[in-house]
Amino acid sequence: MSAVPARTRDLRFLVACIAVALALAGLVAYHASEEPDGLERVAADHGVDAAAADHALSGSPVADYELRGMGEGRAAVGLAGIAGVLLTLAVAAGVLALLRPGRG
């Protein structure tokens, strides 16, 4: 184990984590509970959502975590989830890279 360079070990670990995240979003998320979450439930039960407005991006290709044009099944949710994980990874990496000293 000590013969493996530190950077390789880091890369392997990070890739493994991303793989797990992709599996969770791409395969497991479809089976997640469809019930309204805590906020949505309470909002509906107590009238908190009386003035809720439609989302400006409800026309987005991944609105509600379903890839547009693929129905509401496994593929739609799975692909939207994968897109979200990768997009988050990219945006986070980009933002953090910009914050590094020497770039500001």
Residue 3 or 102: the one with the smaller Cβ distance to other proteins is 102
- Listed in sequence order, the residues at least 6 apart from 41 whose beta carbon sits closer than 8 Å to its beta carbon are 35
CB atoms near residue 25 (< 10 Å)? 22
CB atoms near residue 15 (< 10 Å)? 10
Q: Is 8 in the site for other proteins (CB under 8 A)?
A: no
Q: Is 5 in the site for other proteins (CB under 8 A)?
A: no
**Of 50-79, which residues contact other proteins (CB under 8 A)?**
50-58, 60, 62-65
Helix axes 6-23, 74-99, angle to 10 degrees: 140
The sign of the torsion formed by the CA atoms of 20, 23, 26, 32 equals: negative
**Of 22-41, which residues contact other proteins (CB under 8 A)?**
22, 24-25, 28-29, 32-41
Q: Is 13 in the site for other proteins (CB under 8 A)?
A: yes
d(CA 69, CA 4) in angstroms, rounded, equals 45
What residue ranges bind other proteins (CB under 8 A)?
A: 7, 9-10, 13-14, 17-18, 20-22, 24-25, 28-29, 32-43, 45-58, 60, 62-65, 80-81, 84-89, 91-93, 95-97, 99-101, 104
